[in-house]
Amino acid sequence: MTPGLPTTITLFYFCAGELRLGIVAAAVAQVAPCTELDSSPAQCPHIGKLLKLECTGEVTDRRIIVIACGGRSARLVVDGPIRLTRIGARDLLPLSLGLRHRPLVGFAQDGQQLVILLHIAWLVETACCS
C-alpha cells in the first residue's frame, strides 16, 4: 500500500427505483428534500432517466442532491433511502470486461447487498446536458 493513501472511502448511497447506487461522498455538495416546484425534469433530472432505467412503483422518499466535479455542478433527483457509509478496499469490486459502460465504475459490497458505483464526471456532464 502506498503511504498517505486512505484505507477507507466514504460512499453516498441512494436508489433509482429498487436499484442501489453509490457515489463518492466527497462529490455531494448538498442534499435537500424533493418538492414538485424544484424538481422539474428540465432543471433537475431523475437519476433513473440519466441511466435510462425504468423506475416503476411509488417512491415517497425522493431527494435532490447537488454533485460537483471539475468545477461544474449538477442537481439530480434520487430515490431513498439514502445513507453514508465507509468502505475499505476489500469491499470494492471492479467491473468485468463485459460490463464496461461509461457511467459505471464498479461495485461495492455492503453487507449482503451489491451497490453499483457511478462515475461522477459522467453524471455531472449528462445532467447538465439533459
Number of separate domains in the chain: 1
Interval 30-41 mean pLDDT: 73
In a domain? residue 92: yes
For residue range 54-98, list pLDDT tens digits in order: 766 666 788 999 999 999 999 999 999 999 999 888 898 877 766
Q: Is residue 40 part of a domain?
A: yes
Q: What is the pTM of this model?
A: 0.83
Count of residues in the chain: 130
Sheet containing 113-118: give its strands across.
28-33, 62-69, 72-88, 8-16, 19-24, 113-118, 104-110, 92-93
In a domain, 96, yes or no: yes
Instruction: Look at residue 1 and tell me if it is in a domain.
Output: no
Is residue 2 situated within a structural domain?
Answer: no
Q: Is residue 4 part of a domain?
A: no
pLDDT of 116 over the 90 cut: yes
Domain that holds residue 34: 9-129
Rounded Cα distance between 117 and 94, Å, is 10
Any domain includes 82: yes
pLDDT at 7: 82
